[in-house]
Chains A and B, each alone.
Chain A
Amino acid sequence: MKLLEGFVALDLADLRGQFCGRLLSDQGMEVIKVEPPAGDPVRRLGPFKDNDPSLEKSLPFAALNAGKKSVTLDWTHAAGRELLLSLVEKVDVVVESFEGGTLAEYGLSPDELRRRNPRLVVTSISGFGQTGPRKDYLSPDLIVTAMGGLMSVSGDPKLPPTTGPETQGFYSASIYGALGTLLSLWQRDKDGTGDHVDIAAQEAMASHDQVIRTFSTEGAPIRRFGSQHHHVAPANVFPTSDGYVYLFVTHQHWTGLLALWKDHPVELDSVEFKHNIGRRKKADWINGLVADYTRQFTKRDLVTKLQEAGLPCLPVYSPSEFMTDDQIQHRKFFQPVHHPVLGDYSQMAFPVLINGERPLLGPPPLLGQHTRDILVQRFGVTAADFEMLFAQGIV
């Protein structure tokens, strides 16, 4: 089921905004990547298959661009710019994530794009947004996860604050970007005009865990406690005989845990531990006792036992454990895909079943794989013009 069938987007985004196009593509929008003839710079980012740093073997590229089409087009060249603008006239969405001012230098600012196509929705995903005193600050992902507050609440307190795996700040921003894009398309149905969507990854990060509100109501910022939740206990990673689980026990589950844990220390029955606040104050001590209990079981047995009693506990999985989990297999979350260079592999699908079905998506595109098809067949560039652009190295 392709919910967004019929919509077309041009994806000009770099590492920071490519996930947005992936989200739109997974829901059925036709997403056309516009790459410079030398290839999207993300194709040069590792890790690579076989540790071979060639353009078709970058795993970040393959993950972020699955299902999209690839057109090469040098828009830094005047004829390329004009060609890009002629495409812009025929699409619904442009997604971009350049540092401020880059597009404008080439006469391709969001305003210019929208002048060529007033129905266009331009979605800009950046570190600090299109306005404000820090709009021009350089913003790779680590910088925005730092500035957005997520690092301050993540990691072992004895070690430096820790950013998330991959590029979480921009993934988060990209989801807001897709939402903003779709809201603007919805509005366009009503008033006939496009819009410019401005997403700042710093703000996407600062929306997490109510860090601003917590400071405002508690008078002190949340600090990092490793795996221990700020307000709840026991809510932490706990050891088992063969790995770890995460157990999260709030007010309604504490009595359930004690009932199941028949030989628990009697001190835990104290009324002071009935409420989160009391348990959180003595979290270290309580966690130690709970760990003695959880160590008696295997990860699988403990999760089954606690879930049967209605207690929220799930295993700490590695990616390969997750991929082989019966629930994940049942829901066909990974699908076989063939790529001419990467070979046959399992590709992660969209995390939503639509009318009970998993949306299908194709492999990532080879560099320029769809240039001729898209330009000539879809957008009406004449064969002669195409050959000329090709000879000039523009496509």
Chain B
Amino acid sequence: MAFLDGIRVLTFTSGVAGPNAGRLLAQSGAEVIKFESLQGGLDSFRFFSPDGDIEASPRLVEANLNVLSAQLNLKSPKALELLKELVAKSDIVLDNFRPDVMPRLGLGYEDLRKIKEDIIVIKMPGLGSDGPKAKYGSWGTTVMAYSGMTALWNHPNQPHPIGTQTVYPDYEASTFAPMIALSALLHRKRTGKGVFLDLSQGEMTAFLLGVSYLQAAVTGKDPLPQGNDRPYAAPHNAYRCQGEDRWCAIVVETEDQWHRFCDTIGRPELATDPRFATLATRRANLGALDEEIGAWTKDHTPHEAMEILQKAGVPCGAVQDGRDLFHDQHLRARGFVHEIDHLKLGHVALSDIPIKTGKKGINLPVTNSVLGQHNAHVYGQILGYSPSQIAAWQEEGVIK
């Protein structure tokens, strides 16, 4: 039995944050129905396919695993009626539209509450549902810039900000939204009350910088980028290894680890070298320290260095890329790398959800969402309309 068996979620999502949130709820067992329309209402990630085929966007496929697909043209009044009938039979409504879109359609929280009093509504717009910048459009990387993350994610003393090229906030928001959804479900179960949750992705990204913001608040000064360095460890950096652009990360947090590290790389004299004998002196001589370490790592592959050092009780990890992760035997042993067969993409490896529990309440990833594939289920089985009525609505552009 999956955890959320019996829970129904209606979603209006595009990109990564919203769809991936739907995927998490769907793999947890909820019946998650995603609504799109060929009348200008497709997930923008459908256009990320190499040949324009809206069913062949790899990003879309992974972000919407296990989610059911239904069509609904929100520009049609009849469609809005159908949607309201569905809301009456659902637990959660989730969207990542701009915040004014749903209220304008008469589908704001107060409207939905009139249909189903204990409905849980989750919105996850870039900068939140109210306020002077509520209508601002955003993508993950722009949210990251706004949140302070881009300014702080860099090596020290660089000429311009870097950040990460990934849409980092989307993935964090996509976990955050199901988390608050579960809090709302537990709350509803205990009080009988629904709730309106307004998750600002900009705030959520800053929430992942709590120490930096506290530093700014307490000292009145902006913290600066630290790169791979941390005040409580040395070494604490990435080191160049054998191979093209290959690296490993090494962290020494205790004096005991430092001695073992020096012995293991065959340089016991470094442990007592006055430049490196204590954390304070190592931190005062980071350049020289990194040079000594790099002289050892350059003759090892990242995985060799990791195995040697971990065996000796020193924290080390290869800087793995997508290829390494694909082949990672530990991740394979844990079932995290999962392979599926997709109609258009063929055999595809992707990541499963990183939550393991004794009860195994999370379903395996499956791909089943060709646009509109579940129209009959949604309008026929859930709402009870006949195939001919559904066909008529398809003809009229209501279900399109």
Contact = CB atoms under 8 A, between A and B. Distances in A.
Interface in A132-153: 132-134, 137-140, 142-153
A346 B136 CA distance: 26
Interface centre among B155, B158, B212, B213 (most CB of A within 10 A): B213
A178 interface: yes
B318 A230 contact: no
B106 interface: no
Contacts of B349: 212-213, 215-216
A221 B166 CA distance: 13
Interface in A24-81: 27-28, 44-47, 49, 59-60, 62-64
Contacts of A161: 238, 247, 319
A269 to B, nearest CB: 20
B133 A326 contact: yes
B131 A196 contact: no
A345 B218 contact: yes
B161 A333 contact: no
Contacts of A226: 162, 165
B119 to A, nearest CB: 13
Interface in B331-361: 331, 333-334, 336-337, 345, 348-351, 353-359, 361
Given A147-B317, A209-B166, A227 B150 contact: yes
A59 to B, nearest CB: 5
Contacts of B318: 146-147
Interface string A303-336: 0000100111111111111110111101101100
Contacts of B357: 180, 183-184, 195-198
A186 B186 contact: yes
The interface residues of chain B, by DSSP majority, are classed as mixed
Contacts of A294: none
Interface in A229-265: 229-231, 235, 237, 239, 244-248, 250-252
A131 B333 contact: yes
A217 B310 CA distance: 32
B139 A312 contact: yes
Given A196-B358, A342-B218, A183 B4 contact: yes
A113 to B, nearest CB: 13
Contacts of A139: 315, 317
Contacts of A198: 355-357
Contacts of A200: 334, 336, 354, 356
Contacts of A8: none
A134 to B, nearest CB: 4
B210 A152 contact: no
Contact of A166 (B133, B164, B190, B209): B209
Contacts of B355: 176, 179-180, 183, 197-199
Given A160-B237, A342-B218, A143 B165 contact: no
Given A187-B3, A198-B356, A353-B128, A322 B316 contact: no
Contact of A162 (B134, B162, B230, B322): B162
A209 B167 CA distance: 7
A142 B198 CA distance: 32
A318 B334 contact: no
A277 B151 contact: no
Interface string B120-154: 00000011111111111111011111111111111
Nearest to B206: A322
Nearest to A110: B358
Contact of A131 (B249, B326, B334): B334
B96 interface: no
B145 A316 contact: yes
Interface in B236-273: 236-240, 245, 247-249, 251, 253
Interface size class of B (residues with CB under 8 A): 35 or more
A181 to B, nearest CB: 9
Nearest to B355: A180
Given A139-B315, A215-B323, A251-B47, A166 B175 contact: no
B391 interface: no
Contacts of A386: none
A176 B354 contact: yes
Interface in B49-96: 50, 58-59, 62-63
A173 to B, nearest CB: 8
Interface stretch (B31-39, B176-184, B368-376, B381-389): B176-184
A132 B330 contact: yes
A356 B158 CA distance: 40
Contacts of B24: 179
Given A60-B211, A143-B317, A162-B227, A327 B238 contact: no
A237 B161 contact: yes
B320 interface: yes
13 contacts: A3-B187, A4-B187, A142-B237, A155-B154, A162-B227, A179-B175, A186-B3, A199-B355, A211-B322, A230-B166, A327-B134, A327-B136, A353-B198
- The 8 A-B residue pairs whose C-beta atoms are closest, nearest first, are A215-B322, A203-B354, A351-B203, A221-B322, A182-B182, A246-B145, A143-B317, A63-B210
Given A185-B182, A221-B322, A314-B145, 20 more contacts: A3-B195, A46-B232, A49-B218, A59-B218, A163-B238, A180-B355, A180-B357, A182-B179, A184-B359, A206-B331, A212-B322, A212-B325, A223-B245, A230-B165, A245-B145, A246-B150, A276-B48, A330-B132, A345-B214, A348-B214
